[in-house]
């Protein structure tokens, strides 16, 4: 959608931390987390019959009540979150009988945080995915249906027929037929991979494309920055690293599929796909209590431009009104591309004539207080990135977009500062191809994110990423 707004009005609204003061639509940047575990992510004790939910041990993986997660998230500035406890043998009944009641209690106890019902789905043929349900009167029944029919580990002994990508596509097609529709994000895409696109590792680019093809309004993205970011800080002789990534490291705390310039994410954007990135905690067991996680919102945040309304938050996630940040590097972001009075923001498309100039304005708000570490991180650089959109690739396993490049690097000498807002402007001259634009920033000095050491302090290596704006060439008239 293209909006006709005065640029100042747009920026003021997009950088607000409460209802937009320009009177436009009441939307603001709302921080949240779509991947959080509670004590209902447990395990079957040795010798127990798997599938007998009466013997399932609570609090052996995730250890906190749902309401504790919500209170902690609120203390770190979250407005919304999704509870995504693990699936497993018979656990659809556990969630139906017990965890949903605990979620209702948490909603009543912590009404300041909008709390979605969901599941960390054992994706048939793939790795985990966050399944997020709209808040409806029948949300409990909906999850029971989807989890019991499609979670790859719902039955025991394991049934290989439930672990096929085709079953995941069937699940997505069913979800796509629901009203309102749920959302699915691929979690920690490369956590088990030895190389990018490893079919024996996490999610493959082929599978993610197939998901998006089957249900483009349901399967809309992936974790750009995985949770478990405190794994590199846990005391002991051999920390497991940021994100608990086993083979491929993270890069600046982000999955290589996102962090690699011209990599998998850019390849998907280069097809014109609406494929968004997020960041979250994957909170199970906090570092302060001997675990490897941060609390929801303590380190990573997914900001959605939305009203304080559950449906509008999901609409923002579905349509790419999202930016992500670690360590509270920034607290709001506006990126606009404009031609004359026509403008587009994150997740939107701007129609341009061939060879027209496009004006790009980037504005970020610096946090007013310290982050959860007690520090005040400072932006060192912001990069404006561009790639061509050439249509669907004939190879569904494609992992590169060679057209992607940084077209402008901004540092303190390039932006203006006013009341905690940094603003910069760039004119992209003579657009000649369908394209996309995205933005990232860091407090560090490396030109590209570097592999993270296993014992790296994540608080010293912070990044933010925007989701893209698309530029679409108008058809030329020949009167």
Query: What one-character-per-residue DSSP string does 229-248 give?
Result: GGGGTSSSSS---GGG-SSS
Residue with tokens 């540092």: 411
Class of residue 358 by CB neighbours under 10 A (exposed 0-12, middle 13-18, buried 19+):
buried
Buried-state track 256-267, b at ≥16 Cβ within 10 A, e below 16: bbbbbbbbbbbb
Residue 197, pLDDT above cutoff 80: yes
pLDDT at 475: 74
Q: Which helix (H) or strand (E) holds 172?
A: helix 165-176
Cα(440)–Cα(314) distance, rounded to whole angstroms?
Answer: 23
pLDDT-derived band at 14 (thresholds 50, 70, 90) equals low
Residue 266, pLDDT above cutoff 70: yes
pLDDT at 367: 95
Give the residue with greater pLDDT, 22 vs 170: 170
pLDDT at 25: 81
Strands (E), 379-429: 381-388, 405-410, 416-418, 421-428
pLDDT at 5: 37
Q: Average model confidence (pLDDT) for the chain?
A: 94
pLDDT at 358: 98
Name the DSSP letter for residue 86.
B
Q: What is the mean pLDDT of residues 54-63?
A: 97
Summarised one tens digit per residue, pLDDT across range 360-410 is 999 999 999 999 999 999 999 999 999 999 999 999 999 999 999 999 999
Angle at 82 between CA 79 and CA 86, to 5 degrees: 155
Residue 2, pLDDT above cutoff 50: no
Q: What is the mean pLDDT of residues 197-218?
A: 96
Q: What is the mean pLDDT of residues 407-428?
A: 97
pLDDT at 236: 85
- Sequence-ordered list of residues with C-beta below 8 angstroms from that of 96, at least 6 positions apart, any chain: 140, 143, 144
Class of residue 476 by CB neighbours under 10 A (exposed 0-12, middle 13-18, buried 19+):
exposed
Residue 13, pLDDT above cutoff 70: no
**CB-based contact 330:465 (threshold 8 Å):** no
Cα-trace Rg, the chain: 22
Summarised one tens digit per residue, pLDDT across range 104-139 is 999 999 999 999 999 999 999 999 999 999 999 999
Residue with tokens 């990232």: 440
Cα(19)–Cα(410) distance, rounded to whole angstroms?
Answer: 29
**Cis peptide before 76, with omega less than 30 degrees from 0?**
no
Cα(121)–Cα(134) distance, rounded to whole angstroms?
Answer: 16
Cα(58)–Cα(346) distance, rounded to whole angstroms?
Answer: 40
Q: What is the mean pLDDT of residues 438-453?
A: 97
Residue 278, pLDDT above cutoff 80: yes
14 alpha carbon, distance to own chain's centre: 19
pLDDT-derived band at 237 (thresholds 50, 70, 90) equals confident
pLDDT at 11: 52
Residue 17, pLDDT above cutoff 80: no
User: Nearest to residue 81, comparing CAs of 26, 144, 130, 122?
Assistant: 130
A 10 A CB-CB count for 171 gives 26
Alpha helices of 330-407 — where are they, by DSSP H? none
Cα(62)–Cα(64) distance, rounded to whole angstroms?
Answer: 6
Q: Which helix (H) or strand (E) holds 119?
A: strand 114-122
Cα(51)–Cα(150) distance, rounded to whole angstroms?
Answer: 15
Task: Report domain extents, the chain.
Answer: 7-473
Q: What is the mean pLDDT of residues 406-429?
A: 97
Q: What is the mean pLDDT of residues 250-278?
A: 98
pLDDT at 479: 44
94 is written with which tokens? 């556990």
Q: What is the mean pLDDT of residues 243-249?
A: 95
Cα(255)–Cα(178) distance, rounded to whole angstroms?
Answer: 31
| Strand 381-388 relative to strand 435-442, pairing | antiparallel
Instruction: Record the pTM.
Output: 0.95
Architecture, CATH, for domain 7-473: Alpha-Beta Barrel (3.20)
Residue 277, pLDDT above cutoff 70: yes
């Amino acid at each position: 959608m293209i909006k006709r707004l005065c640029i100042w009005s747009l920026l003021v609204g997009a950088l607000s931390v409460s209802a937009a003061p320009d009177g436009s639509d009441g939307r603001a940047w709302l921080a949240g987390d779509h991947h959080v575990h509670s004590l209902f992510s447990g395990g079957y004790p040795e010798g127990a019959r798997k599938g007998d939910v009466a013997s399932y041990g609570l609090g052996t993986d995730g250890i906190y009540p749902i309401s504790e997660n919500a209170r902690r998230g609120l203390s770190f500035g979250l407005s919304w979150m999704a509870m995504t406890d693990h699936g497993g043998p018979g656990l659809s009944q556990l969630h139906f009988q017990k965890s949903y009641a605990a979620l209702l209690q948490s909603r009543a106890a912590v009404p300041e945080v909008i709390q979605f019902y969901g599941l960390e789905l054992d994706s048939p043929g793939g790795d985990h995915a966050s399944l997020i349900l709209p808040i409806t009167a029948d949300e409990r029944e909906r999850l029971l249906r989807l989890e019991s029919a499609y979670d790859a580990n719902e039955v025991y002994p394991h049934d290989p027929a439930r672990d096929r990508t085709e079953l995941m596509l069937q699940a997505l097609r069913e979800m796509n037929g629901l009203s309102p529709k749920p959302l699915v994000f691929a979690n920690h895409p490369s956590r088990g991979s030895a190389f990018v696109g490893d079919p024996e590792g996490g999610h493959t680019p082929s599978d993610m494309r197939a998901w998006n093809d089957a249900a483009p309004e349901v399967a809309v993205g992936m974790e750009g920055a995985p949770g478990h970011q405190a794994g590199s800080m846990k005391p002991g002789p051999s920390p497991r690293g940021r994100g608990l990534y086993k083979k491929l490291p993270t890069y600046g705390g982000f999955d290589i599929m996102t962090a690699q310039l011209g990599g998998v994410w850019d390849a998907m954007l280069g097809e014109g796909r609406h494929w968004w990135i997020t960041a979250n905690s994957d909170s199970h067991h906090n570092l302060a209590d001997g675990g490897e996680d941060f609390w929801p919102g303590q380190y990573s945040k997914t900001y959605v431009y939305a009203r304080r309304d559950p449906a509008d938050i999901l609409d923002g996630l579905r349509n790419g009104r999202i930016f992500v940040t670690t360590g509270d590097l920034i607290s709001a972001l506006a990126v606009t591309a404009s031609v004359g009075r026509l403008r587009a923001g994150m997740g939107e498309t701007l129609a341009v004539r061939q060879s027209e100039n496009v004006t790009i304005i980037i504005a970020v708000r610096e946090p007013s207080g310290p982050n959860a570490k007690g520090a005040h991180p400072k932006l060192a650089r912001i990069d404006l990135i561009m790639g061509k959109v050439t249509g669907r690739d004939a190879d569904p396993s494609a992992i590169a977009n060679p057209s992607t490049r940084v077209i402008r690097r901004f540092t303190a000498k390039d932006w203006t500062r006013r009341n905690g807002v940094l603003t910069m402007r760039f004119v992209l001259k003579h657009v000649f191809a369908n394209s996309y634009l995205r933005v990232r920033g860091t407090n560090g000095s490396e030109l590209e994110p570097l592999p993270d050491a296993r014992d790296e302090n994540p608080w010293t290596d912070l990044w933010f990423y925007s989701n893209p704006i698309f530029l679409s060439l108008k058809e030329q008239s020949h009167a």
